[in-house]
Amino acid sequence: EPEVTQTPSHQVTQMGQEVILRCVPISNHLYFYWYRQILGQKVEFLVSFYNNEISEKSEIFDDQFSVERPDGSNFTLKIRSTKLEDSAMYFCASSESGAGGPRGELFFGEGSRLTVL
Amino acid sequence: AQSVTQLGSHVSVSEGALVLLRCNYSSSVPPYLFWYVQYPNQGLQLLLKYTTGATLVKGINGFEAEFKKSETSFHLTKPSAHMSDAAEYFCAVSARGSYIPTFGRGTSLIVHP
């Protein structure tokens, strides 16, 4: 069964360092997403991406964050200068494309746990 | 904007007992509604969803949920809990036509032998 894969599963970094989280979406999906979950809090939407550009983003997704599809398979989330409050589980997801937008549910990866010290 | 409220951060049941996880939504128009499950060290997996049609929706692993517009609820139930059901359950909502969910805080289901 096709699945979304994420690497690394856990990353520890020092405050101020850049972090790149990687995701390989399901191969025929065209919509990609990042969510995050701070420990004990809600799963929060960060950004959606389609056709090599951001289609929607939340207020959390500020200038410290960026997303990229560097090749035909990977989808990355970069945090430019990490802060303590960036510590969270980051989930990548993908979905199919339909007429006028995404179609069907999101398929999530297992998450990348980021710990900022 | 849509939102969901999940009542109870933890629900504890005995194996074989009824499972009831509560979810209420807030939306100006009937939304799409979802339940996701997260097993330990795994990603979020869709259990079931309501978009249109029958208000009682059946999902995987014997779970079902009923969309009640008058109560703005979408509670998740399972007649008989199994040890393997122990997980975190998330109710989520999206605008009609959008499948991008807004999640609740989650409810941890604990199943006792």
pLDDT in tens, A55-80: 999 999 999 999 999 887 899 999 99
* Residues A63, A20, A72: CA angle, nearest 5 degrees: 100
Preferred mutation among B42, B100, B108 to probe A, highest tally of A CBs within 10 A: B100
Confidence of residue B1 (pLDDT cuts 50, 70, 90): confident
Yes or no, beta carbons of A43 and B34 under 8 Å apart? no
Give the contacts of B73 (CB within 8 A, at least 6 positions apart). Answer: B22, B23, B24, B25, B66, B67
| Residues in B touching A33 (Cβ below 8 Å) | 100
CB B53 within 8 A of CB B68: no
| Residues in A touching B99 (Cβ below 8 Å) | 95, 102-106
Within an 8 Å CB–CB cutoff, is residue B60 touching chain A? no
Confidence of residue A33 (pLDDT cuts 50, 70, 90): very high
Q: Which of A112, A41, A32, A43 is nearest to A79 (CA)?
A: A112
Yes or no, beta carbons of B99 and A33 under 8 Å apart? no
Q: How far is B99 from chain A (nearest CA, A)?
A: 6
pLDDT tens digits for range B32-44: 899 999 988 788 8
* CB-nearest partner of A106 from B41, B99, B104: B99
Q: Which of B32, B31, B13, B35 is nearest to B22 (CA)?
A: B35
CB B49 within 8 A of CB B55: no
Confidence of residue A84 (pLDDT cuts 50, 70, 90): very high
pLDDT at B42: 81
Average pLDDT of chain B to the nearest whole number = 92
Element (H, E) at A101: strand A101-108
pLDDT at A70: 87
Would the pLDDT of B99 be above 80? Answer: no
pLDDT at A104: 75
| Residues in B touching A45 (Cβ below 8 Å) | 100-102
Q: What are phi and psi of A39, to 5 degrees?
A: -50, 125
Count the helix, strand and coil residues of chain A and give each as a percent rounded to the nearest 5: 5, 55, 40
| Residues in B touching A4 (Cβ below 8 Å) | 43
What percent of chain A clears pLDDT 70, i.e. is strictly above it? 97
